[in-house]
Structure 1
Amino acid sequence: MKANVSISNSSDFANYYISTALTDQKGVVMNDRYKNFSGRVNIDSNLTSWLKVGVKTNYSIRDYSGDSPAMNKAAQFSPYASLYDDEGRYLQYPQTTTSFESPFWSMKTDDTEKYNILGAILNAKITIPWVKGLSYEMVYSNTLRWSQKYYFYDEYTTTGQGKNGKGERKHESNYNMLLDNMIKYNNTFNQKHNVDATFLYSRERRTWENATAYAENFDNTILGDNKLEDGKKQTVDTGAGESGAIAWMARGTYTFDSRYSVTGTVRRDGCSAFSVNRKWATFASGGLNWNISNESFMKDIEPINNLALRVSYGSNGNQSIDSYSTLAKVGTNKYIFAGDPSYSITQGISSFALNDLGWEKTTGFNTGIDFSLLNNRLSGNIDAYFTNTTDLLFSLSLPSVSGKTSMLSNLGKIRNKGVEIGLHSVNIESKDFKWTSDFAFSLNRNKVVTIYGEDNDGDGKEDDLISSGYFIGKTLGTIYGYKVIGMWQQEDVDNGTIMDGMRPGDYKLEDVDGDGKITSDKDRQFLGTSKENFRWSLTNTLEYKDFSLMIYINSIWGGNGYFQSGSNTPYYDEYINSAAHNRTVFDYWTPRNTDAKYPRLDYNSNARYKGTKYMDRSFIKLQKVALSYDLSRFVKRFGFNNMRLSLSADNLLTFAPHWDGLDPETGSGLTISSSPSIRTYQMTLLFNF
């Protein structure tokens, strides 16, 4: 259920907008429920001819409370099992075996998870009366976020049984402040020369704190997390911190005769999270635009209504690291020295100082074309981009004897290139009927150019970082493993060609070096990538008189080794070879089903060499269909300005020629832990007066 209500009005001196929204949505799994309430108030006022002020406030609360049973246990659950005992509680062992525990015993007895956001944006704009085109604008933004996460497991749950109940209450709060000061100048000289300049000074501050109270071993669990002080074992954990950022920016654009324009931007950013030597970085960019349709030689070319070319080159930075990551920190621990009757509190370095960790930088070139043809019947844009990201914020592995296993460092280089296309067409337009289409397409290719820059094996090229999945010259998400080339059969046993430790019904893995065994250093190979090949979507809107029909199709496509997934492995599921448990139905190998898609049920338990069969997740999905009818002409005499009734359905059909299971978009396959995607039907009544 969703409901939205808004009120707005305006005059020459002020305008306001007030809205509220409520959502209550149930999922397909027990206790999977989402609630959201939000409200917004916007007010703008022209105090004088040169001073305008405004305020935008908002509040929302999202409620994810409630715990669902474990899906893997639910899938294994027999429909003939007994759910409850004589007192109405869930039985711990509802089936004939004590090796299988009820999925309901995995649920928290009480679960609260709520997130609150309170925000306010104050803005003021002063238009300097005596200087044409000059103005000053201030935007002061404040956002407070806080959350409540409570849970409790009583003695009738798997987690709480051995501890005689356990619970926790965690409070977190986060405050963000952003202050932007902008001086803007925009003026046109001699009707042909336009100058647009912006100067910015910005400050940002963030503070946060958290407190967690935990307890276990209760004499009485009836009050749950409302009485944590009754637990015999209690712990408290608290934390707090702050960070800040400062930025200066200058941007200028010169346009001549609405045909040619050039833009330049310089930005200086500082972030407290970086090292003392590299807190600051400078980023610059520039762009050119040519509006070809305003040229004199284009005036007689009637099919072209608008045509413009864009070219830009520049850089930006990434500051997504945790505060205090670059500081040396001291931690405490407990240690029992030889001969001592109890432990001693010790202190040691928990993280190293990083004096030269700085900004991750992305430099890119972008070119694009905007066009409109045939009296605006066909319009769109085509963009191509090329970027290089250097000094990546990378977790570098360290020898454990150093006292730490990893540390952040600026390493490596990743190259990206891609194409994005957006098209809009008016296919048919008549008095009573109109058909429009919107098409979007995107394709991205990336490549790891360098990581450490080391060649420890002496083969003349930089070493890959196999443990982290980074390979020189390969895309991110590259899959490196054993290649499944078939299934061992009984005839392989009969003719003596089967590998030692393998049986009929086990996956046959490619022996790259031909030594008769499978080893990680010689037989792993590149199998493809988990990244998609390309994405596309198509929206068709048909309007006939007061009716409107919208059909939205969405697709992510792989092929040629793209968009591969190795998660569709039902033969790895728990209890897969147990007759006492329910299981997913899939095409597994048996002596009577030798051409099966998946291996024998005990493949994971008994095969000497194990590999994964990767599947293409390509899909085309009928994402949304919406039918609406305009009721305005029937209700205007009752004081309504307009009214529209609509019926919609989401996630209706999916075509996935290579995927088995529930939903290729989410990667839910045939495994017992997979969850179905929600198919929703909605009726909406929209009106205003």
Structure 2
Amino acid sequence: MGQNITVSGKVTDANGQSIPGATIIVKGTATGAVTDFDGVYNIQANGSSTIVVSYIGFETLEIPVNNQKTINIQLKEDISLLDEVVVVGYGTQKKSDVTGSVSSANLEAFKDSPNTNAVQALQGTVPGLNIGQVNSAGSTPSISIRGQVSISGNQDVLIILDGIQYNGSLSSINPDDIKSVDVLKDASSTAVYGAQAANGVILITTKSGKRNQTPKISFSSSYTTQTPSEDLRPMNRNEYIDHIRRINYQDAYLAPDYTTLDPNYDITTGLIDQIISDGNLVDTDFDWWGEGTKQGNIKENRVSATGGSEKVSYLLSLGLTEQEGYIINDKFKRKSIRINVDTDVKDWWTVGVQSFGSFVNKDGDEPSLYSLAIAPPLLEPYDEEGNLIANPTGTLDSNPFLTYDVQDYERHDYLFANVFSEIKFPFLPGLSYRVNFGNNYRISKTYGSSKYSASNTGDAGKNVNFYKDYTLDNILTYKRTFGKHNLTATYLYGAMEREGEGTSAYAKDFDRLGLGYNNLGIGGIQETGSSAFKDQLNYQMFRVNYKFDEKYILTGTIRKDGYSGFAENNKTAYFPTGAFAWVISNEGFLSNSNVVNNLKLRAGYGINGNQTGRYTSLANLKTVDSYVFGDGGSTAFGQEVTSLANADLKWEKTKGLNVGLDFGLFSNRLKGSVDVYKNTTDDLLFRVAIPYLTGFDGINTNVGKMENKGIEIALVGDIVKNDSFKWTSTISFSKNENKILELTGEDEDEDGIEDDLISSGLFIGESINAIYDYEIDGIYQLGEENIPDGYGPGTHRIVDQDGVDGITPAGDRKIIGTTDPAFRASLLNSFSYKQFTLNVFLNTIQGGKNKYLGANTNALYRDSNTIMRNYISGIDFWTPTNPDGVNPVSYFRPAVGGTRYVDRSFVRLQDVNLSYKFSKSIVEKLALSDLSIYVSGKNLATWTKWDGWDPETGQAMNSGGRPVLKGYSLGVNLSF
């Protein structure tokens, strides 16, 4: 019998480079170790035992100890494991076998970024996946894949969580629980989801334990400070007084040029009494903005336990996230728990559960930034007794701080579970059957009360909403390899049911509001409401993957979908796709190439669908005032049909062609892919307006056709790679365009005029997001001749396009451009030096010519409100003393104000992360297995010509809106 000894050594690859993170286990025991940054390990083992060494992408080795105290190990690359495995829907595939356009997100580079939402880390990282900005606590950004393929149909990307469709908010998911995110972009890859996949699919896979893994406890904690990325603020007292003089230039300055201040001007003329004392302006300089905003922060604490035996693996995680936004009372708190367990009941039978609960608190009623910005600094929010003044200006502009003295209760509870069982039939090798039963359940409660509402008589209300769904999937898979042939066939039969209900109660006119929303019965006026829905889907899918000689790959899929929300005559539809891939690098003429390591050509074509809303094929009713009983009698309500039923409403279908090229060059030091695609959507779901004299105002039908096309490029290069220093760069680029081909059925009407829907802003041959408006050409100046009637100095100069009858809606609007970007691009540089790792990520969206435009008109037309209100400091208003100002200021509102559109292009330093991993000697002294600390920053700098909070959100300086936040984080990760 051998004795226990300490075995140490170094694990390297075939080139002699160290492999950090390799696992060494004493076979048949729970004793294990992990190599450090230099590939070194130490483990206690019996002299006669065997150690098992494994690492992703390499062959697993079993090495007898034979009483050796030093064992250096060289791992060989395993061709079958080296290839990246991606989730493709109802299964996984090696990246080399994928025929469609599938991208895996790089989560590792952004794991320490201050992101409370799971998809924030994906912003700009995957070509074709477009993630918007967030500017409120706990919010979910906008998500789209390859742009827009529908006019008014469903625009949502399909989210699949652990194999089950997820309809909850992504803010409910703890980002630390996510193992991988795969994005399906073309018809071939999304085909397995058929009718719901036209907008692309995001597959989220959560973490799990590992078999034969010793128990591991991991903990992470971080603190983030957040401030606006742009330093905007309202005018202070002196700026505000100067502003009053400038907008009253005809009285405050001397004619004729109005550039010299009139010493006799009385600034109190026309102002409200609240800011005048003894004939002069009060000496108040109250900072409404400063009182209503503060430095935001994010506090995160997460702990997880993982492990496994020969037959069981498990993960248990807990998370607590607390975020306070830049605006007071903008709060988000999430408590989450996840349990993932699977076990082998038999060698051929596995059962398990993937589940989580998330409990979100968004209590608090915040003031709007707009209300804080327009409050004059010469006013205060409190009276002499310290009570809030409901309307300091005496107008409809209420006190922004009324949100302090209210009740606001908002809670969202999310529960999710996927219970699965998988059988690998021992009597027929390669055949397996898996059943998934997934369940989503959520409860939303929104309660509130305010003594200032309902004309200061007080109001209160409660809204409670319940939602639940189930998904039942039966998946039969057969895998067979015979000779040079490899076959995988998948059959799916599934069903889904969604159900929701809501109840609301509201009351106003309270004598007392001491119990708030908990005693609505004492309100003088009470209202109640309720709602409910239920819909069902069923589907079948058959997919075949065939590969011959590791060179030629075919994928064919057909899916049949049925949905209760569609019309009587079109409950079901079929969605077929096919794809082909040629692995050119496995051909004889390239198999021994020193330059080309991987080269694969892909092409796919197919049809995906888009669902309509639940009741769009049915006649819709609304409640209106219908009858009056007797002269002066009370009004009775009745129901009125507002839209016609359409028994022939059918599925919107998108036909897509994708051609792609994957490559790896120079010993895979340079890897990448290029995809070119074109999608055409027919039978667009659209509500067509009809003359009201018919008794209806519209009908939901299928009209028109649109096109969506683009190109995507992804490159990953190992610029420097040695034992001590590594530098990897990742570049992504995407360009997408859409165009309307038909609208009401024909390209042109019988008079040869294109059949545009001008009232809806839709034009044949143009983008869905085309801007149709008046063109402006600067601002009319003082003394300018031939100013048209209805305009004057300080108003926009509108271009008379037809030069016939002045400015008219029919003849003088034109296509200005589009809100669509010209292209998106990003650059990620990752550096590793010994125990330091630095990631720097740049992201950009560019508009080019007449693209990615946003409305940026901060016009000021004088009336009793605009004279009194404050504004953001630094707005470039036109005045006689600033004739080059770009924002109109006028004594009257012109006949057509016009809109100034500005390029929103930007380059953003979006993420920077620096981490340090402590050496093994220090970690062991602390009785830990791993320890690292990091600092990170988000949205650190943005280079743009846009005036406003942020070009990506497109909010102008004077339109309210919210800032995008810049954050700095400090955190620690440890495990034992």
- Which of 128, 149, 161 is residue 455 of structure 2 equivalent to? 161
Give the match for residue 431 of structure 1: 723
Is it true that 1:681 corresponds to 2:968 in the alignment? Answer: yes
Q: Give the SS at the match of 2:867.
A: coil
Q: Distance in 2 between matches of 1:394 and 1:246?
A: 24
Q: Distance in 2 between matches of 1:332 and 1:417?
A: 43
Is it true that 1:558 corresponds to 2:825 in the alignment? Answer: no
Q: Assess, with a 3 A threshold, how the Cα gap between structure 1 residues 332 and 580 changes in structure 2: closer, same or farther.
A: closer
Q: Distance in 2 between matches of 1:146 and 1:79?
A: 42
Structure 1 unaligned segments of length 5 or more: list them: none
Given that residues 570 and 670 in structure 1 are in contact (C-alpha distance below 8 angstroms), is that contact kept between their aligned partners in structure 2? no
Q: Distance in 1 between matches of 2:425 and 2:505?
A: 55
- Which of 90, 96, 103 is residue 400 of structure 2 equivalent to? 103
Listed one character per residue, the Cα deviations across residues 482-508 of structure 1 (whole Å, up to 9, x for unaligned) are 111122223422xxx222222122211
- Which of 883, 889, 898 is residue 600 of structure 1 equivalent to? 889
AA aligned to 1:174 is: Y
Give the match for residue 617 of structure 2: 326
Given that residues 568 and 668 in structure 1 are in contact (C-alpha distance below 8 angstroms), is that contact kept between their aligned partners in structure 2? no
Q: Assess, with a 3 A threshold, how the Cα gap between structure 1 residues 502 and 344 changes in structure 2: closer, same or farther.
A: closer
Q: Distance in 2 between matches of 1:567 and 1:407?
A: 35
Q: Distance in 2 between matches of 1:108 and 1:478?
A: 44
Q: Distance in 2 between matches of 1:421 and 1:574?
A: 53
Q: Assess, with a 3 A threshold, how the Cα gap between structure 1 residues 601 and 653 changes in structure 2: closer, same or farther.
A: farther
Please report the TM-score for the alignment, with normalisation by the length of structure 1: 0.94
Aligned 1:307-322 pairs, distance under 5 A: 307-319=599-611, 321-322=612-613
Q: Assess, with a 3 A threshold, how the Cα gap between structure 1 residues 592 and 454 changes in structure 2: closer, same or farther.
A: same
Q: Measure how far apart 1:290 and its partner are.
A: 0.6
Q: Assess, with a 3 A threshold, how the Cα gap between structure 1 residues 517 and 351 changes in structure 2: closer, same or farther.
A: closer
Q: Measure how far apart 1:92 and its partner are.
A: 2.4
Q: Give the SS at the match of 2:517.
A: helix
Query: Which gives a bigger RCO, structure 1 or 2 (Cα 8 Å, sep 6+)?
Result: 2
Give the match for residue 121 of structure 1: 418
Q: Distance in 1 between matches of 2:485 and 2:746?
A: 54
Q: Measure how far apart 1:227 and its partner are.
A: 1.0
Q: Assess, with a 3 A threshold, how the Cα gap between structure 1 residues 479 and 118 changes in structure 2: closer, same or farther.
A: same
- Which of 464, 467, 470 is residue 171 of structure 1 equivalent to? 464
- Which of 344, 347, 354 is residue 49 of structure 1 equivalent to? 347
Q: Distance in 2 between matches of 1:672 and 1:414?
A: 33
Aligned 1:575-654 pairs, distance under 5 A: 577-578=866-867, 581-602=870-891, 605-633=892-920, 634-654=922-942
Q: Distance in 2 between matches of 1:315 and 1:279?
A: 17
Listed one character per residue, the Cα deviations across residues 306-326 of structure 1 (whole Å, up to 9, x for unaligned) are 11010000011111x332332
Q: Give the SS at the match of 1:297.
A: coil
Q: Assess, with a 3 A threshold, how the Cα gap between structure 1 residues 516 and 78 changes in structure 2: closer, same or farther.
A: same
Give the match for residue 183 of structure 1: 476
AA aligned to 1:113 is: E
Q: Assess, with a 3 A threshold, how the Cα gap between structure 1 residues 373 and 576 changes in structure 2: closer, same or farther.
A: farther
Q: Measure how far apart 1:338 and its partner are.
A: 6.1
Given that residues 563 and 616 in structure 1 are in contact (C-alpha distance below 8 angstroms), is that contact kept between their aligned partners in structure 2? yes
Q: Measure how far apart 1:283 and its partner are.
A: 0.6
Q: Assess, with a 3 A threshold, how the Cα gap between structure 1 residues 344 and 299 changes in structure 2: closer, same or farther.
A: closer
- Which of 832, 835, 841 is residue 543 of structure 1 equivalent to? 832
Q: Measure how far apart 1:459 and its partner are.
A: 3.7
Give the match for residue 630 of structure 2: 339
Give the match for residue 255 of structure 2: none
Is it true that 1:504 corresponds to 2:793 in the alignment? Answer: yes
Give the match for residue 136 of structure 2: none
Given that residues 826 and 843 in structure 2 are in contact (C-alpha distance below 8 angstroms), is that contact kept between their aligned partners in structure 1? yes
Q: What is the percentage of aligned positions where both structures have the same residue? A: 37
Q: Assess, with a 3 A threshold, how the Cα gap between structure 1 residues 258 and 279 changes in structure 2: closer, same or farther.
A: same
Aligned 1:374-393 pairs, distance under 5 A: 374-393=666-685
Q: Distance in 2 between matches of 1:571 and 1:580?
A: 10
Given that residues 70 and 107 in structure 1 are in contact (C-alpha distance below 8 angstroms), is that contact kept between their aligned partners in structure 2? no
AA aligned to 1:655 is: W
Give the match for residue 395 of structure 1: 687
Is it true that 1:363 corresponds to 2:655 in the alignment? Answer: yes
Is it true that 1:299 corresponds to 2:591 in the alignment? Answer: yes
Listed one character per residue, the Cα deviations across residues 189-243 of structure 1 (whole Å, up to 9, x for unaligned) are 12x0111100110100111111001111111112111111111211111121210
Q: Give the SS at the match of 2:957.
A: coil
Q: Distance in 2 between matches of 1:54 and 1:575?
A: 67
Is it true that 1:372 corresponds to 2:661 in the alignment? Answer: no
Given that residues 872 and 957 in structure 2 are in contact (C-alpha distance below 8 angstroms), is that contact kept between their aligned partners in structure 1? no
Q: Distance in 2 between matches of 1:125 and 1:555?
A: 44
- Which of 800, 804, 808 is residue 515 of structure 1 equivalent to? 804
Q: Give the SS at the match of 2:730.
A: strand
- Which of 304, 326, 333 is residue 6 of structure 1 equivalent to? 304
Q: Distance in 2 between matches of 1:635 and 1:570?
A: 61
Given that residues 713 and 733 in structure 2 are in contact (C-alpha distance below 8 angstroms), is that contact kept between their aligned partners in structure 1? yes
Q: Distance in 1 between matches of 2:335 and 2:700?
A: 40
Give the match for residue 484 of structure 1: 776
Is it true that 1:354 corresponds to 2:646 in the alignment? Answer: yes
Structure 2 unaligned segments of length 5 or more: list them: 1-298
Q: Assess, with a 3 A threshold, how the Cα gap between structure 1 residues 312 and 422 changes in structure 2: closer, same or farther.
A: same
Given that residues 391 and 412 in structure 1 are in contact (C-alpha distance below 8 angstroms), is that contact kept between their aligned partners in structure 2? yes
Q: Measure how far apart 1:456 and its partner are.
A: 8.6
Given that residues 948 and 956 in structure 2 are in contact (C-alpha distance below 8 angstroms), is that contact kept between their aligned partners in structure 1? yes
AA aligned to 2:576 is: A
Q: Measure how far apart 1:595 and its partner are.
A: 1.9
Q: Distance in 2 between matches of 1:481 and 1:570?
A: 16
Given that residues 792 and 890 in structure 2 are in contact (C-alpha distance below 8 angstroms), is that contact kept between their aligned partners in structure 1? no
Q: Distance in 1 between matches of 2:458 and 2:868?
A: 33
Given that residues 629 and 635 in structure 2 are in contact (C-alpha distance below 8 angstroms), is that contact kept between their aligned partners in structure 1? no
Is it true that 1:65 corresponds to 2:363 in the alignment? Answer: yes
Q: Distance in 1 between matches of 2:861 and 2:341?
A: 58
Listed one character per residue, the Cα deviations across residues 24-68 of structure 1 (whole Å, up to 9, x for unaligned) are 111111111111111100000011011000111110122222111
Give the match for residue 147 of structure 1: 444
Number of aligned residues: 676
Q: Distance in 2 between matches of 1:332 and 1:81?
A: 44
Q: Measure how far apart 1:635 and its partner are.
A: 1.5
Q: Measure how far apart 1:583 and its partner are.
A: 4.8
Q: Measure how far apart 1:106 and its partner are.
A: 6.2
RMSD across aligned positions (CA): 2.0
Q: Give the SS at the match of 2:529.
A: strand
- Which of 810, 816, 837 is residue 527 of structure 1 equivalent to? 816
Q: Assess, with a 3 A threshold, how the Cα gap between structure 1 residues 457 and 504 changes in structure 2: closer, same or farther.
A: farther
Given that residues 374 and 869 in structure 2 are in contact (C-alpha distance below 8 angstroms), is that contact kept between their aligned partners in structure 1? no
Q: Measure how far apart 1:350 and its partner are.
A: 4.9
Give the match for residue 91 of structure 1: 389
Q: Measure how far apart 1:352 and its partner are.
A: 3.0
Q: Give the SS at the match of 2:370.
A: helix
Q: Assess, with a 3 A threshold, how the Cα gap between structure 1 residues 439 and 133 changes in structure 2: closer, same or farther.
A: same
Q: Give the SS at the match of 1:636.
A: helix
Q: Give the SS at the match of 1:222.
A: coil
Given that residues 422 and 435 in structure 2 are in contact (C-alpha distance below 8 angstroms), is that contact kept between their aligned partners in structure 1? yes
Q: Assess, with a 3 A threshold, how the Cα gap between structure 1 residues 546 and 58 changes in structure 2: closer, same or farther.
A: same
Listed one character per residue, the Cα deviations across residues 610-637 of structure 1 (whole Å, up to 9, x for unaligned) are 2111000000011111111002421123
- Which of 332, 337, 343 is residue 39 of structure 1 equivalent to? 337
Q: Assess, with a 3 A threshold, how the Cα gap between structure 1 residues 327 and 99 changes in structure 2: closer, same or farther.
A: closer
Aligned 1:12-31 pairs, distance under 5 A: 12-31=310-329
Q: Give the SS at the match of 2:810.
A: helix
Q: Distance in 2 between matches of 1:79 and 1:9?
A: 60
Given that residues 570 and 584 in structure 1 are in contact (C-alpha distance below 8 angstroms), is that contact kept between their aligned partners in structure 2? no
Q: Distance in 2 between matches of 1:336 and 1:94?
A: 42
Query: Which range moved further: 224-233 or 563-572?
Result: 563-572
Q: Measure how far apart 1:392 and its partner are.
A: 1.3
Q: Measure how far apart 1:86 and its partner are.
A: 4.4
Q: Distance in 1 between matches of 2:664 and 2:376?
A: 61
Given that residues 508 and 524 in structure 2 are in contact (C-alpha distance below 8 angstroms), is that contact kept between their aligned partners in structure 1? yes
AA aligned to 1:301 is: S
